[in-house]
Amino acid sequence: MSENNFKAKANALFAFIVIVGLIFSAAMFRLALKYIPTFGNFLTSARHGLDALCGCGAHLSFSTHPYIWSGLLAVGIIISGFFVAAGARGLGYFFRNRKYLKSRLARAVKPAGKLSRAARALTLEDKVRLAPSAAVEAFCCGFWRPKIYVSGGLAARLNLTELVSVLSHEKQHLLSRDPLKIFIANLARKIFFFVPGLKSLVKRFSLYSELSADARATAGFKNKIYLASALLKIIKTKENFAWQTPFEALPLSGFANLTGERISQLADGKIARHRLAPIKSFFLFFGAAGTLIVLTFVPMLLRADWLDRTAKETCSAFSHTHETHAASKSCAQSSRYVATNP
C-alpha cells in the first residue's frame, strides 16, 4: 500500500474522531444550557402550583418532599460530576504533556556531525534539533512550528543512511502536522472516554500515520533495509526511552511508536487488525447516552397536570397537618380560657 493510501486513511480517521468529538461536545454543551434553566423552571412551576391550589407554597420547602428534592439533587450531582470528570481528564492531559515536553526539550541544540549532514540531505537544517540524552529516540513535536528531535544516543548508534531514513520518516509527520492531530485525537479520547471504540480509532489513526511516514522513508516500501535496520537497533537497545514513556499518550510522533505493526508491514506487507472495543464499553456507552437523553428531555416534558397532581398531594398533606395543628392550638387556647375564666 502506498504512502498516499495510508495518509488518506489517517486523514479520514482523524476527521471521524473530530466529528465524534464535536457531536458529543455539542450535546454536553446543550445539556448544560438546557438543564440549568429547566431546573429553575421546574421549581418555579411546582411552587406556583402550590400557591394556586392552597396558598401554601410560601410555607412549604421542597426539602420536606421525599421524592422531588432528592431526585433533583441526585440528577444535579450526576451531571455536575460528569462535566467535572471530563474537564479534569482533558486539562490533566494537557498540562502533564506540557510539563514533560518542556523538561525534555529545554536543552535541545542544533545538530552537528552526521546528523547535520542527514538534515541537509533532506533540507531540514532549521527543523532538526539534537537532544543531549543517552536515550534512543527520535520524534516530531510542536503544534504550530513542529520540529524533529533526535537524541544523542540514537545519533551515535545509527549510521548516516539510517539517520536519513529516520529523518525522512519524521519529515512526513512534520509536513502533515501529526503532533497537533495526535494531541486532538488523544484529548478527545480522554474527555469522551465513555464512547465505545474511540480508543481503538485513535490507535488506528496513529498506526496509519506511522505507516504513511514509513512509506515516505522507504519510497513506497521499496527501499526498506535502512529503516528496518534503524527500528531493530532501537528495539534491541535496553535503555530505549520509548519503553519507559508511552509515546501514544503524548502529543508527538515518536519513531519508536507501534514498532510491532510497522515491522510486520516492512517484512511481509501485512498489518494486524485491531479488535473492536469490548462489549462492556457498548453497555457503558448506551447507559451514559440514555442517561443524558433522559436528563435532557424529561424535565422539559413534565406536564402541568403532573405538577398539579403532585402539588395537590403535597398540599393536602400539608393542609391536613396544618388543620390538625390549628385544631390542637385552638383547643389549647380554649382550655386556657376556661381555666382562667371559671
pLDDT in tens, 88-103: 777 777 777 777 777 7
Which residues pair with residue 253 across a beta bridge?
140
- The SS3 call for residue 149 is strand
Give the least confident one: 82-86, 144-148, 223-227, 250-254.
250-254
**Cell triple for residue 331?**
383547643
**Interatomic CA distance for residues 333 and 293, integer angstroms:** 56
Angle between helices 178-191 and 3-54 (to 10 degrees): 30
- The helix or strand, by DSSP H or E, that contains position 131, with its residue range, turns out to be strand 128-131
Res 228: pLDDT: 83
**Interatomic CA distance for residues 184 and 201, integer angstroms:** 13
Nearest-5° Cα angle at 25, 19 to 30: 130
pLDDT in tens, 7-27: 888 899 999 999 988 888 887
| Res 307 pLDDT > 70 | no
pLDDT-above-70 percentage for the chain: 52
Burial of 17 (0-12, 13-18, 19+ CB in 10 A): buried
Residue listed under C-alpha cell 499518550: 249
Which residues pair with residue 149 across a beta bridge?
129, 139
| Res 67 pLDDT > 70 | no
pLDDT in tens, 234-285: 877 754 444 444 444 455 566 656 566 677 777 666 665 555 455 555 555 5
φ, ψ of residue 141 in degrees (nearest 5): -145, 145
Contact 254, 166 (CB under 8 A): no
Among 99-103, 177-181, 191-195, 277-281, the range of highest mean pLDDT? 177-181
- The domain spans of the chain are 3-295
Which pTM does this prediction carry?
Answer: 0.65
Contact 129, 173 (CB under 8 A): no
**Interatomic CA distance for residues 71 and 319, integer angstroms:** 24
Give the least confident one: 149-153, 168-172, 281-285.
281-285
Res 24: pLDDT: 81
Contact 3, 221 (CB under 8 A): no
Q: Which residues contact 258 (CB under 8 A, 6 or more apart)?
A: 206, 207, 210, 248
Strand 128-131 versus strand 147-151 pairing type: parallel
Buried b (16+ CB within 10 A) or exposed e, 291-307: ebeebbeebeeeeeeeb
* Residue-wise DSSP of 34-89: HHHHHHHHHHHHHHHHHHHHHS-GGG--GGGSSSHHHHHHHHHHHHHHHHHHHHHH
